[in-house]
């Protein structure tokens, strides 16, 4: 891989948080990066950070749960940056509620973005990876996959992504494509900030309470996850597939 002909990576939900840090990290690793998020304009800061450091990036607005938008986005990546050989399925939403208050819409929205979105993106991108005989897919699961109060929808989707990961690893391995999942614990982003707001606690207090249960004694940063994606995306991880790594400052969060 050279700067004049870099491999191409796609990161979804890359306008902010873990996705933005991952896009920047993969650009530092030498990838040209497609920065996909719902609104193309929201991708500007991530693209500017990559280009400012001498990398190559392309902003694309697409809803990962919409098949036509996904196919158009992945085709555009292939045409404008090159065949995508790394895919990070990071886009995510929360619609937390206790089961008796959870609407069908809360359930469907979470399933659509996390599960349908990862399925559609992976199906569209695998074509380029299998043709090249090399590829990397990294799915964002969560410690919530182990169960979390108020997150029946999210926990189910994040556990589902682990089964999805292992199955794609089995199907795509013979084409040189590895598929792994990262299950973050508490990471300080807009997502955890929104949860604090929803439960009526300041983000500072919410973070302090989370840290009290984290063995390494600090909150996670988006870069902690980006570093792990970087490992999975590299040559050195070619014999690691179908794995779920908990990046949570301890065995669980």
| Candidate list 107, 128, 154, 246, residue with the active-site label | 154
Contact positions with ligand NAP (CB under 6 A) in 158-187:
184, 186-187
- Inter-CA distances, 234 with 6, 9, 29, 139, 142, Å: 13, 11, 9, 15, 22
Residue from 137, 140, 159, 172 in contact with ligand NAP (CB under 6 A): 140
Axis-axis angle for helices 222-233, 17-28 (nearest 10): 40
Residue from 51, 131, 171, 190 in contact with ligand NAP (CB under 6 A): 190
Residue from 46, 65, 118, 151 in contact with ligand NAP (CB under 6 A): 65
Nearest residue to the partner ligand NAP, using Cβ = 17
Distance separating alpha carbons of residues 250 and 253, to the nearest angstrom = 7
Residue closer to ligand NAP by CB (options 6, 106) is 106
Minimal distance in Å, beta carbon 175 to ligand NAP?
A: 25
Residue from 9, 11, 15, 229 in contact with ligand NAP (CB under 6 A): 15
**Closest to 243 in 3D by CA, of 169, 190, 140:** 169
Residue closer to ligand NAP by CB (options 8, 157) is 157
Cα 225–Cα 37–Cα 140 angle in degrees, nearest 5: 30
The pair of structure tokens assigned to 73 is 């986005």
128 is catalytic: no
**Closest to 93 in 3D by CA, of 78, 105, 77:** 105
Q: Work out whether 232 is an interface residue with ligand NAP (CB under 6 A).
A: no
Q: Work out whether 84 is an interface residue with ligand NAP (CB under 6 A).
A: no
> Residues with catalytic annotation?
154
């Amino acid at each position: 891989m050279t700067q004049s002909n870099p491999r191409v990576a796609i990161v979804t939900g890359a306008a902010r948080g873990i996705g933005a840090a991952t896009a920047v990290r993969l650009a530092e690793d030498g990838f040209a990066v497609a920065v996909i998020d719902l609104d193309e304009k929201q991708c500007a800061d991530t693209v500017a950070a990559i280009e400012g450091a001498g990398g190559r990036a392309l902003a694309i607005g697409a809803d990962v749960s919409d098949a036509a938008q996904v196919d158009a986005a992945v085709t555009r990546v292939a045409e404008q940056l090159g065949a995508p050989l790394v895919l990070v399925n990071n886009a995510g939403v929360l619609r937390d509620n206790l089961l008796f208050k959870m609407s069908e819409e809360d359930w469907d929205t979470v399933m659509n973005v996390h599960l349908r979105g990862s399925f559609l993106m992976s199906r569209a991108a695998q074509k380029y990876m299998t043709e090249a005989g090399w590829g990397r897919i990294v799915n964002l699961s969560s410690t919530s996959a182990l169960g979390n109060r108020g997150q029946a929808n999210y926990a189910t989707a994040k556990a589902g992504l682990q089964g999805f990961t292992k199955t794609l690893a089995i199907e795509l391995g013979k084409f040189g494509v590895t598929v792994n999942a990262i299950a973050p614990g508490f990471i300080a982003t807009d997502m955890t900030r929104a949860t604090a707001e929803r439960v009526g606690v300041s983000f500072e207090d919410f973070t302090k309470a989370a840290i009290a249960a984290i063995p390494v004694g600090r909150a996670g940063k988006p870069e902690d996850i980006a570093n792990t994606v970087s490992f999975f995306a590299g040559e050195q991880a070619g014999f690691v597939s179908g794995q779920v790594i908990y990046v949570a400052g301890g065995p669980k969060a």
